[in-house]
Amino acid sequence: MQLSDKYKKKIQRRTPGGRSIVAYKHIKHSPHECAICKKELHGKPSGRISKISRLSKSQRTVERPFGGMLCSKCTRIVISLRAQLKHDVIGKSDIPISLKRYM
């Protein structure tokens, strides 16, 4: 199977017979993490693209607002702040800078 250079690492090896060969090793994928608190996200598989693309869409992501992007804890905070902002309970200046992009 042909691999894209992005997902493989070239390794120079010497065989017991004395020949030099080039082997390819898959680069390990890191798990997906929350955009705010960097906690590991559940429900989002990590691994080779070819394997993930064979899954159904619901198995690939989390189907809720900010699913697959923010963890459940951060989603609660963002949705709560959005509602408070909408009903003028808080002002725009009361929102932390790290959360402003999700408002």
Residue 71 found at the interface with Zn ion (CB under 5 A): yes
Residue 78 found at the interface with Zn ion (CB under 5 A): no
CB 28 to Zn ion: min, Å: 23
The single residue among 11, 27, 37, 90 that binds Zn ion, judged by CB under 5 A, is: 37
Residue 36 found at the interface with Zn ion (CB under 5 A): yes
71 backbone φψ class: left, alpha, beta (φ>0; ψ -120 to 50)? beta
Which residues on adjacent β-strands are paired with residue 22?
12
Query: Which residue in the shown chain puts its C-beta closest to Zn ion?
Result: 34
Cβ atoms < 10 Å from Cβ of 70: 24
**Span near Zn ion by CB under 5 A; candidates 11-19, 49-57, 66-74, 90-98:** 66-74
Q: Are 74 and 64 in contact (CB under 8 A)?
A: no
Residue 34 found at the interface with Zn ion (CB under 5 A): yes
